[in-house]
Structure 1
Amino acid sequence: MKKIGIAGNHLMHANPRFGTNYVNYIQKNYAAGITNGGALPIILPIGAPELASDYIATIDALLLPGGQDVSPDDYGEEPIPQIGEIDPQRDAFEIALIQAAIVADKPIFGICRGAQIINVALGGTLYQDLTTQVPALAVKHDQYPTKWSTPTHHLAWQSSNWLTAHMSKTALVNSFHHQAVKTLATGLQLDATSTDGVIEAFSDEERRIYGVQWHPEMLLMADKNAQLVFDAFISRV
């Protein structure tokens, strides 16, 4: 069975449920997308970047999920006032995982923050806050309070890619982000944008690197066809 490593997150603040027990975790929907696709999810807890190569050696592919904002220090910028919480430890670990996976020639799939950290790891940049930095924004990219499993805006396909055989030309996706890819890293192909031009998907078939800005794992709760995104990635492992 194919083993897909899912980079984990961790609690950084005390909370009523766990107190100061700063647990490692991953949302179960990511694991469901992997198991539904016939593969085995392996959670990789945040650790020292020096452990990345050993983690990658135990898996067949890497999935990077959503989460905190990526630190602008990772792409040479100062933080603007509108940036959210960052986690430099997570950034460093995930960048090391990405680099180790490329060296080992193992596929990589990023979702939301995961796509953003892939782009940064490969030399690209991000918008720290879309509302502040993109004056022509015409689509609501953080759909709250609409629930996660409800798609709200359309994709505009920019090229034939790994997803076009599995998704409608007028596909609707969900959207929970205020950061996004700004300058696409060298070697990445632009696959899709929102109708107002924000990058929604990219790929590099030669290195088997894929990223989407929306959350297919949450769409799974209401639409079984969202599984096709995970199936398309697993087929490349």
Structure 2
Amino acid sequence: MSLPASRRLKIGLSACFSHADPDRSLFTGKTLQYVEQSIAHWIMSAGAMVVMVPCPTGETARGDVTLAHYADWLDGVVMHGGADVWPGSYGEEPLRPEWLGDRVRDLYDLALVEAFSQAGKPIFGVCRGLQLINVAFGGTLYQDLLTQVPGAQVHRDAKQYDRHAHDIALVSGSRLSQLYPGQLRARVNSIHHQGIKQIAPNFEVEAWSIPDHIPEAIRRAPRPGGGYIAATQWHPEFRSEDGSTLDDSALLDDFLQACSRTRTFPFPGHSPFQIRDRAARLLKRALLRRR
């Protein structure tokens, strides 16, 4: 018998942004927040319910709902892929105009990670989500792998998109390697041109790209009272039809099991920043200035 809604996990999914555009024929001049279909379906494939977490501030904001309310209500959150991370988020200037990223979305994503971390709820990142999590906890990024990493392979092919793939090496003894016993090498899709330069403190790399040794999966190191945070540079929701890439089910099950445990035994909250709710206040201030 199908589980009732009250017994299903409720998983938040970060929003993608399409900023107000006066030349757009539909929703002219309006800000759109949306999710990509397959990642919602990926989470739902294990029976969880998906809730997009909208940005609560902006030019049309009303009421008193905050990201902290969502973090308190939901069982975990998945950080969506999408636009480049703004280099200013990790203390750099853009090397090229096309690598400017999306500062407003960064502020929203940072505030969302902050809210769920403070609530002690599990967080899983995908592609941009991995990069954003790394930045939120003090790491840095390469703005462009081909430009900044000698010998880097092509990690993003616009024509092949999710059919573009490369091999990874799973770190022996890591949680990721435990999810795939006896499989220390795998193939994954690759749809990014930015990547981790310096890993955030208290995080561990769980997989590296072959042969150029770029971090492909990270996880917060186990510690007393520490909640679940993990991420992959590849998109596990983009399942290959021929089965040539790493099976996604173990990753999803691991995250949802953490959400179930936390529902029963909550972790104490922890802020990734020194000042509690810092990211939420920065987001609100930035969007108020845009009015």
User: Normalized against structure 2, the TM-score is what?
Assistant: 0.74
Corresponding residue number in structure 2 for 1:9? 16
Q: What's the CA shift string for 1:23-67, capped at 9, x where partnerless?
A: 221011111111111211110112339922122112110110111
**More displaced stretch, 8-17 vs 118-127:** 8-17
How big is the shift at 1:185? 0.5
Aligned to 1:165: 178
Alignment of 1:33-44 (within 5 A): 33-44=42-53
Q: Aligned residues: percent identity?
A: 34
Deviations 1:1-33 (A, max 9, x none): 111100011212454565544322101111111
Equivalent residue in structure 2 for 1:211, among 231, 243, 254: 231
Decide which of 132, 141, 144 is 2:158's aligned counterpart. 144
Matched, 1:107 2:122: yes
Is the CA contact 1:154–1:172 (under 8 Å) kept in the aligned structure 2?
yes
Cα distance in 2 for partners of 1:171, 1:82 equals 35
Q: What RMSD over aligned residues (CA atoms) do the two structures have, in Å?
A: 2.2
Q: Does 1:78 align with 2:103?
A: no
SS in 1 for 2:177: coil
* Structure 2, unpaired ranges of 5+: 1-7, 59-64, 260-291
1:30 has 2:39 as partner:
yes
Q: Is the partner of 1:211 in helix, strand or coil?
A: strand
The farther-off stretch of 222-231 and 190-199 is: 222-231
Distance 1:20 1:4, change over 3 A: same
Deviation at 1:221, TM superposition (A): 5.7
Return the index of the structure with the highest Cα Rg: 2
Going from structure 1 to structure 2, the CA distance change for 1:47 and 1:222 (only over 3 Å counts) comes to farther
1:187 to 195, 202, 211: 202
**Native 8 Å contact 1:46 1:93 kept in 2:** yes
Once residues 159 and 15 of structure 1 are traced to their aligned partners in structure 2, the CA distance between those partners, rounded to angstroms, is 50
Aligned in 2, Cα 1:43/1:220: closer, same or farther, shift over 3 Å? farther
For residues 169 and 29 of structure 1, the distance between their equivalents in structure 2, rounded to whole angstroms, comes to 27
Residue in 2 that maps onto 1:65: 80
Q: 1:126 aligns with which of 132, 135, 141?
A: 141
Distance 2:233 2:98 in 1: 18
| Structure 1: tracts of 5 or more residues without a match | none
Once the two structures are TM-superposed, the CA of residue 219 in structure 1 deviates from its matched residue by: 2.0
1:111-145 Cα distance to aligned partner (Å, 9 max, x none): 000010101110110101111111121x2200332
The 1:230/1:183 distance shift into structure 2, 3 A limit, reads: same
Looking at structure 2, the residues matched to 132 and 156 of structure 1 have their Cα atoms a distance apart, in angstroms, of 23
Partner of residue 93, structure 1: 108
Shift of 1:94: 1.1
Asked if residue 202 in structure 1 is aligned to residue 218 in structure 2, the reply is yes
User: Is the 2:170–2:208 Cα contact (8 Å) retained in structure 1?
Assistant: yes
